[in-house]
Amino acid sequence: MAKITQLSQLDLNGTYSYADYLLWQFDDMVELIRGKIMLMSPAPNLKHQRFSGRLSYRIQRFLEGKTCELFVAPFDVKLYDSKKSKLLDKDAYNVVQPDLCVICDKNKLTDQGCEGAPDWIIEVVSKGTARKDMSFKYELYEESGVREYWLVYPFEQALYQFVLNSVSEKYQLAAMYASDQIVSPVIFPDLKIDLAEVFAE
């Protein structure tokens, strides 16, 4: 197979697998959602970076000494339907790079990243990623079995917390938070995050 060193060598309307993705050798950051190439936004803006940094610091501090680990983008997460067994790379069509993700099952970690659903994913939404985060990724994370999904809006200073219902296997909106509130992940109720601190200018 010919080396792919530039994004322009690919058909952006084509369908690709994780096996294809592993062979690409260009600098452009992309994700694969249902086999379709999704271009990632340019480098995050200052507000996004500040928020991500403060949030990841608090989560990392909480997880010290625990079995779960925090990973920050760029970090490849290969996903597939939670009702199916592990897929070969050639049969997997989803690879994403969440802004933040927490993984508690060490068996899901590989040299390439994570294979299977993280326990908790946080996406920091920008204008360029809103549709992807709120629609495509929401559905993908739900069917993959991600237990908790946070959508964070730094400019609006708002956070939406979705939790996977174990019976329906669908997300339920657990809560919506504003910048002056304390939020805790359902999977880690002892972790208290003061949004006034992380949203601070």
Task: Report yes or no: 177 and 158 within 8 Å, Cβ to Cβ.
Answer: yes
**pTM, full prediction:** 0.93
Per-chain mean pLDDT for the chain: 92
Task: Report yes or no: 48 and 110 within 8 Å, Cβ to Cβ.
Answer: no
User: Which tens digits make up the pLDDT trace of 115-169?
Assistant: 999 999 999 988 777 888 899 999 999 999 999 999 999 889 999 999 999 999 9
92: tokens are 């997997």
In a domain, 8, yes or no: no
Report the domain count for the chain: 1
Domain CATH code at residue 127: 3.90.1570.10
Q: Which of 158, 155, 100, 101 is nearest to 128 (CA)?
A: 155
> What pLDDT is stored for residue 48 in this prediction?
83
Residue 1 has pLDDT above 70, yes or no: no
State which residues form the domain around 164. Answer: 46-76+96-198
Residue in this structure with the two tokens 């690709």, named with its chain if needed: 16
Alpha-carbon gap, residue 67 to 86, rounded angstroms: 22
Q: What are phi and psi of 34, to 5 degrees?
A: 55, 40
Q: Helix, strand, or coil here: 149?
A: strand
In a domain, 175, yes or no: yes
- One-letter amino acid for residue 101 of the chain: C
Q: How far is CA 194 from CA 56, 59, 149, in A?
A: 13, 12, 18
In a domain, 111, yes or no: yes
When mean pLDDT is compared across 26-30, 96-100, 173-177, 193-197, the lowest value belongs to 26-30
Q: Is 23 left (phi over 0), alpha (psi -120 to 50) or beta?
A: alpha
In a domain, 119, yes or no: yes
In a domain, 82, yes or no: no
User: Which tens digits make up the pLDDT trace of 77-128?
Assistant: 999 887 776 777 888 899 999 999 999 999 999 999 999 999 999 999 887 7
**130 or 34, which is more confident?**
34
> What pLDDT is stored for residue 43 in this prediction?
64
User: How confident is the model over 177-195, as a mean pLDDT?
Assistant: 96
The four Cα atoms 53, 59, 62, 65 give a dihedral, to 10 degrees, of -90
In a domain, 26, yes or no: no
Q: What percent of the chain has pLDDT over 70?
A: 97
Alpha-carbon gap, residue 57 to 79, rounded angstroms: 26
75: tokens are 């970090």
In a domain, 84, yes or no: no
In a domain, 138, yes or no: yes
Task: Name 172's bridge partners.
Answer: 163
Task: Report yes or no: 120 and 185 within 8 Å, Cβ to Cβ.
Answer: yes
